[in-house]
Structure 1
Amino acid sequence: MTPPDASEGRWSDLDRPPLNITALRRGLLRPGGLWTSFDVVESTGSTNSDLAGRGDSGASAAAEGAVLVAEEQTQGRGRLDRRWTAPARSGLFFSFVLKPGESVPVERWGWLPLLTGVAVAAALSRAAGVDTALKWPNDLLVTVDGEERKTGGILAERVGDGVVVGVGLNVSLRADELPVPTAGSLALAGAITLDRDPLLRAVLRSIEEWYEAWRTADGDPAGSRLQEAYAAGCSTLGRTVRAELPGGHVLTGEAMAVDGDGRLVIGTGDGVQRPVGAGDVVHLRPGGGPAAQGG
């Protein structure tokens, strides 16, 4: 039987059905687990902004473990205030709140976006059958037609006593729907499934597993094996990169390591190894030009 609203609303594209909220809540919310609430909205500007605004007068984010998913995000933000837009129900656009507490030194909280990248990449490998690489600090890359393309991004923002982490992931985007020709999606990378329900469930469970291991180790990236896992999945390491740093400075060299603070260590031609904690990093081809990673 055809749904009465098949011609409009959330069933307007039958190849992109809405998320099954009831089933996802049943699979994710459990006593003693990390996830404490799970909400889905049809459309919003930014799930990060919405969760950050749930606290008291903006001084605190929502409770730890709150998850907010948008079927469509109209003002999604990435790093450096870049915009993230996509057709409704074509991807996974969600945010969640983490509050590591006093057991994890604040200086280690900077590992949370990298932890999220490791967790998402691991989940997509298992659930979608797609090898997902990490571009420092928080981009998710897949291979389409032999080239690395950005299929997702992560944005972490400190809000009061917690951190709101947002994830945007292109799932079913077709080539003619990409924001830029060099972006990618799980569909274009040959994913074995584009069903967003099991993909989101796998991603959130993976984040929970990595977060608990990291918090149990008091945020130690080595003791939790997070630093090792990030380095193993980071396609930036071993490549020539150009880092565009705050203040207009540019640093070019080989990406050699990710240090204990989550910074990218770049070796320059004069033998100096310089850690970079913030900036826009571009992968360069052997000839010096930028490699294709869009979005």
Structure 2
Amino acid sequence: MTPRDAADANNNRWSDLDRPPLNGAGLRRDLVRDGGHGGLYCDIEIVGRTGSTNSDLVARAVAGDADEGAVLVAEEQTAGRGRLDRQWTAPPRSGLFFSVLLKPAEVPVARWGWLPLLTGVAVATGLARAAGVDTALKWPNDLLVTVGDEERKAGGILAERAGEDGVVVGVGINVTLRAAELPVPQAGSLALAGAVSTDRETLLRAVLRSLEDWYGRWRAAGGDPGVSGLQEAYAAGCATLGRAVRAELPGDRALVGEAVAVDGDGRLVIATKEGVQEPVGAGDIVHLRPA
């Protein structure tokens, strides 16, 4: 193990044999571009414990200490964050907690709002292939799985600006979280959803390759969600569409109606009972009835 992959020496990395540590050297060998050419990822670093991979990578990017394609993975996060500054906690090595620095210079900034949705499509696609779990996306950034007959959140995405030219996308996925370890009853994990594989290296490879693929398509299309196929793919995998929802909006305002579309700007379009279609760009979405 290299120093860049050093876990906390005070923790026995093999204390839970069902949750082995990630192999940083193997991941870099398989995913990092050779000699600066050919792929998205320039480096993959694994740390044993940190507060938030997003906070760490944003700070590095702003300081000029990280290039596009830098990946930071933590075996444990002590201050992981979701949207609206909600905490994300999980036992060590029970999930995938990582951030990626993207710098889509050829894409108009107005289209950068698609990056968390793009990441959701990439994660869902990668997990479906590698874990064999039917996954769905809750707008704008939650990953849903089915445990028994119940829809539960198993992952989330957080995108943050990193200086003038960068965005850090952070991903948290519950992989082997057991029922007794769930932080809330509405949470789930790939294992509880019946995943055919919970090998975190296999899953991380699949997700990062899928992200590289979707990001490349989107960037080549100048960020156009239609031309790149992103808008169609997101709509196809979005569990929010066709549902009765309540959007809790800034300013203590709420909007109730049916989620009917995701528009070209990545906003959720809600049709109210008054016959008005209102796009929502920011807010908390509550599903009001089962799929």
> Compared with structure 1, are the counterparts of its residues 285 and 61 closer, same or farther at alpha carbon in structure 2 (3 Å cutoff)?
farther
Q: Distance in 2 between matches of 1:90 and 1:55?
A: 27
Q: Distance in 2 between matches of 1:259 and 1:166?
A: 23
Match of residue 54 from structure 1: 60
Equivalent residue for 2:112, pick from 103, 109, 113: 109
Matches within 5 A, 1:74-223: 74-101=78-105, 103-160=106-163, 161-223=165-227
Q: Is the 8 A contact 2:61 2:166 kept in 1?
A: no
Q: Distance in 1 between matches of 2:250 and 2:119?
A: 24
The code of the aligned residue for 2:129 comes to R
User: 1:244, CA displacement in angstroms?
Assistant: 0.1
Q: Is the 8 A contact 2:126 2:210 kept in 1?
A: yes
Q: Distance in 1 between matches of 2:181 and 2:59?
A: 31
User: 1:62, CA displacement in angstroms?
Assistant: 2.4
C-alpha deviations, 1:74-118, integer Å up to 9, x for none? 0000000000000000000000100000x2110000000000000
The code of the aligned residue for 2:86 comes to R
TM-score, length basis structure 2: 0.93
The code of the aligned residue for 1:97 comes to L
C-alpha deviations, 1:169-211, integer Å up to 9, x for none? 0000000000101100000000001100010000000000000
Q: Distance in 2 between matches of 1:144 and 1:255?
A: 24
User: How many correspondences in the alignment?
Assistant: 278
Q: Distance in 2 between matches of 1:56 and 1:131?
A: 37
Unaligned runs of 5+ in 1: 1-6
Q: Is the 8 A contact 2:118 2:214 kept in 1?
A: yes
Unaligned runs of 5+ in 2: 1-9
Secondary structure of 1:247 counterpart:
coil
Q: Is the 8 A contact 2:69 2:102 kept in 1?
A: yes
Q: Distance in 2 between matches of 1:29 and 1:250?
A: 45
User: 1:61, CA displacement in angstroms?
Assistant: 7.3
Q: Is the 8 A contact 1:70 1:94 kept in 2?
A: yes
Q: Distance in 2 between matches of 1:140 and 1:13?
A: 26
Secondary structure of 1:10 counterpart:
coil
Q: Distance in 2 between matches of 1:251 and 1:26?
A: 49
User: 1:56, CA displacement in angstroms?
Assistant: 4.7
Q: Distance in 1 between matches of 2:117 and 2:65?
A: 20
User: 1:8, CA displacement in angstroms?
Assistant: 5.0
The code of the aligned residue for 2:40 comes to L
Q: Distance in 2 between matches of 1:27 and 1:131?
A: 26
**Percent of aligned pairs sharing the same letter:** 75
Match of residue 3 from structure 1: none
Secondary structure of 2:56 counterpart:
helix
User: 1:55, CA displacement in angstroms?
Assistant: 3.1
Structure 1 vs Structure 2 CA RMSD: 1.3
